[in-house]
Amino acid sequence: MSDREAFPGELDMLHGLVATLHAVAEHGDLADVRRVLAEYQRDEQDAYAEAGAGSPTAAPKAFQPGHLYAYAVWRFHCAAVTAHPATGEQQAIGWIRISDGSWTTHAYSAAEWDAPWTDITTTGEDGR
């Protein structure tokens, strides 16, 4: 285990995730990407539990306006949480920093809030 790994095999899991995402991006669609990320999240949580390592501080079940969140290489700054006018489903609306470092507007539905986002608002980490 590397001294930079939170649990044994973490780097191998991340390498596998990246390889899988490359294949899915080439041949799948966004639903496939979401499925792969959800599977990874479950596997990661199981690995933390098995290693007895504390899981990173997860985001609350709902994004909070004014907060900055991290997940892998992405950063999401939540500007507002509102209900969809037709369905009533909660939406977190804000800015996401994508892998090339640029920011673009983005909305997350409540169904997508289960990704292992970490609230980094008060940690002083990069993002703003």
Q: Where are the domains of the chain?
A: 10-51, 68-119
- Model confidence over 25-71: pLDDT tens digits? 777 777 777 777 778 777 777 776 776 655 554 445 678 899 998 88
Which residue reads 């609230």 in tokens?
Answer: 119
Q: What's the average model confidence in pLDDT over 75-88?
A: 87
Q: Indicate the pLDDT class of residue 79, thresholds 50, 70 and 90.
A: very high
| Residues 97/75, Cβ–Cβ less than 8 Å | yes
Q: Is the pLDDT of residue 103 over 80?
A: yes
Rounded to an integer, the average pLDDT of 2-18 is: 73
Helix (H) or strand (E) holding 11: helix 10-27
Tokens of 53: 């390592």
CA-nearest of 46, 42, 36 to 16 is 36
Q: Which two tokens stand for residue 120?
A: 């980094």
pLDDT, residue 128, reads 44
What is the SS3 assignment for 78? strand
- The one-letter amino acid code at 25 reads A
